[in-house]
Homo-oligomer: A and B are copies of this chain.
Amino acid sequence: MATVGARTWVVAGGRIPVDSNGEEPEFTSFDQLCLLNAEDADAGVELVVYYADQEPVGPYRWVVWARRIRHVRLNDLVDPEPIRLGRPFGCVLTSSVPLVAQFQRQDTRLPGVLALVDVVAYPVP
């Protein structure tokens, strides 16, 4: 099989919803990166977070093992610092091996209401 994916991916429209309703963690609001590494080598991933009003923060680092997926709720990032809820952001992900990145949001700001979005991130050729 050919190489599956790209080494750099971009999301411009991040903003973790400020509130959540419903059972945790199933209905907690989130912004999420979904990564699929179809290669036979582990992927070292670095994420840099961009804001409207300050210098970028990062890198956040993790690993996506060979032949595995990893869905990362951006709410859960703590090192070097959490992403504040309700704050507009974007991010650039770079990986040591090619992978595929999708961005998802679950929004439960309103009680009894569920809104979802899903985009394939922008791959840098």
Residues B102 and A12 in contact, CB atoms below 8 Å apart: yes
Residues A90 and B69 in contact, CB atoms below 8 Å apart: yes
A78 within 8 A of B: no
**Identical chains bound together, number:** 4
Q: Which residues of B contact A67 (CB under 8 A)?
A: 50, 55-56
| Number of residues on chain A facing chain B (CB within 8 A) | 61
A122 within 8 A of B: yes
Q: Which residues of B contact A55 (CB under 8 A)?
A: 67
Binding site for B on A (CB under 8 A): 1-5, 8, 10-15, 18, 22, 26-27, 32, 34-36, 38, 50-53, 55-56, 67-71, 88-92, 94, 99-105, 107, 109-110, 112-124
